[in-house]
Amino acid sequence: MVVTGQDTEIRQLAAVNDVIAAPMANVWAVLTDFANPQRLAASIDSCTVSGSGVGAIRIVGSSRGLTIHERLLECDLATGRYRYEVLPEGDMPFADVTSYECTVILSALPDGATRIVWSTFGGVRGPVAPITEFLGPLYQRATDRIRAEVTPR
């Protein structure tokens, strides 16, 4: 999907589709722990949260030296949808990104496993490939971290 704006295009930045051999409720509990995003990414050094539930804001410090402000937009177990955006008050994850929104959709599978689908869209001034090459593996590692936490050893 490409939507043109004034000087940016809204483009898909990354997509990951995977299956975790664990019940959806277990995956959901890790994914939606808004105050502890380090459960999903080792590159997160700090996180502070103000508010709770939809509308809560977290400020994430990363090992890349960024301070990223994020707002929780949706967190609905009934639909399996979890969505957040990066706010302009902090750093954008990439120099040419002007907006950034991530949606994760979980669905329970008949065998008791959970499908997890990450999709990220953002406003971009310039090439998308370097962003996709960074984000695709980042979301796959997040999926692998969830898998490690919820799958019996």
Residues of the chain with pLDDT under 50: 1-6
Cα separation, 32 vs 6, whole angstroms: 34
Q: How many CB atoms lie under 10 A from the CB of residue 82? A: 22
Could you give the domains of the chain? Answer: 2-150 (3.30.530.20)
Specify the pTM.
Answer: 0.90
Q: For residue 29, how far is the Cα from the chain centroid?
A: 14
Q: Establish how many alpha carbons lie within 13 A of residue 124's alpha carbon, considering only the half-sphere containing its beta carbon.
A: 21
pLDDT in tens, 80-123: 999 999 999 988 888 889 999 999 999 999 999 999 999 999 99
54 — phi, psi (to 5°)?
-55, 130
